[in-house]
Amino acid sequence: MDFEDDKRRFLRILDNLYGRMFRCPRGKHKRSSSHIRKTGDQYTSRCRSCRKPMVRLSKRNWALDNRRA
């Protein structure tokens, strides 16, 4: 069990680094599903790698929230 936890933690770190180096600078942010919140009539979350705020435009369509960035 301990090996699996270490492996999962290591893969999460690699994914985070890859996102910060290659995805986010190109504008390809990935939404964090565990941070989705409904605020009023819209949904908000944050990028998994750089943690910038995101807002849902439509189903499965998310963009950076420039008002809060």
pLDDT at 45: 95
Supply φ then ψ for residue 7, to 5 degrees.
Answer: -65, -45
pLDDT at 69: 54
Domain ranges of the chain: 2-64
pLDDT at 37: 95
pTM: 0.74
Q: Which of 42, 41, 40 is nearest to 65 (CA)?
A: 42
pLDDT at 2: 83
Give mean pLDDT in consecutive 10-residue pieces for the chain, a chain of 69 residues.
86 89 91 92 93 93 83
Rg of the chain over all Cα atoms, to the nearest angstrom? 14
